[in-house]
Amino acid sequence: MTRLLGKLGFIHRRLWQRDGLYRISMLIGPAPLLGGVAAAGLWAVVMAIGGFGAFTVQKPPAQWAVPAEAKDNWPTGANQLNVAEPYLPLPSVGADGVPQGFRAGWAVVTRPVQITPTYNAIFENRTLSSFFLEGPVVAISRLAAEGPKDVQFLAFGVGLLAVKSASIYALSARFERPAGPVANCLVLLAFAGRRILSSIDVNISLDHVKEFPPARFNLQPGLYSVAWEFACWHNKEMTGPGKFTVLIGHPGETGLTPMRPGDIVMKP
């Protein structure tokens, strides 16, 4: 038994140092968030996200402003069509457009994070808060209300995109921050285990709007993992105003719009 535990400890240390997916899954900690059956679902979704690379706890810490390797990102070219596998089959859909056994919205956790002068991030392995968030818009004001005033933290959101018909979809996001106190902001969006976008803006003080190039997907019916990270901070505190909106292009649409009720679901 002692030998087995020693091997498990060695594997844990290696994965923690070298694998961003393993760290994210450990840091989010699904059990406190949803519990029971839902915990297993959230754990698997986070495990499927993978390759975030934006925040790490390697020794030495990796530079999270360094562009990610191409293999970690979905191509976003206008002529690029990607293919992803669903995480779960699509259940029967109710009259409200939500798959049965699910509810519309994101599961969100906040975690303490220390940002070094060289923009490395070091996490504390504890959850400050966990909550459900409905709708496609993530507002700094809501995140600030969910966390303490004296601890710098980052919000992680996970959900499942309910694809109800086989067709072409597009995914992206828009970050908006009106003129206000100087802040640094990070946004990240991942789909089916790979990043779509990852960006940091430093010392924002004037009106700032950024809409990212979309990634296009040829998808079959099913539930696909989606995740985001978002924070704006100044003097080690979450600083508003600002919002991050997840955008989608449905079949037959020429542009992207905020996700609709029932597009993103999680276990209640």
Tell me if 163 is assigned to some domain: yes
Q: Which distant-in-sequence residues (6+ apart) come within 8 Å of 41 by Cβ?
A: 34, 266, 267
Contact between residue 77 and residue 120 where contact means Cβ atoms under 8 Å apart: no
**Domain encompassing residue 204:** 70-266
pLDDT of residue 119: 67
Rounded CA separation 215/194 (Å): 11
Whether 267 shows a pLDDT value over 50: the answer reads yes
- Number of separate domains in the chain: 1
Residue 115: pLDDT band by 50, 70, 90 thresholds?
confident
Tell me if 115 is assigned to some domain: yes
pLDDT of residue 17: 47
pLDDT of residue 251: 92
> What is the average per-residue pLDDT within 23-41?
37
Tell me if 94 is assigned to some domain: yes
Rounded CA separation 130/125 (Å): 14
Look up the CATH number of the domain holding residue 106: 2.60.120
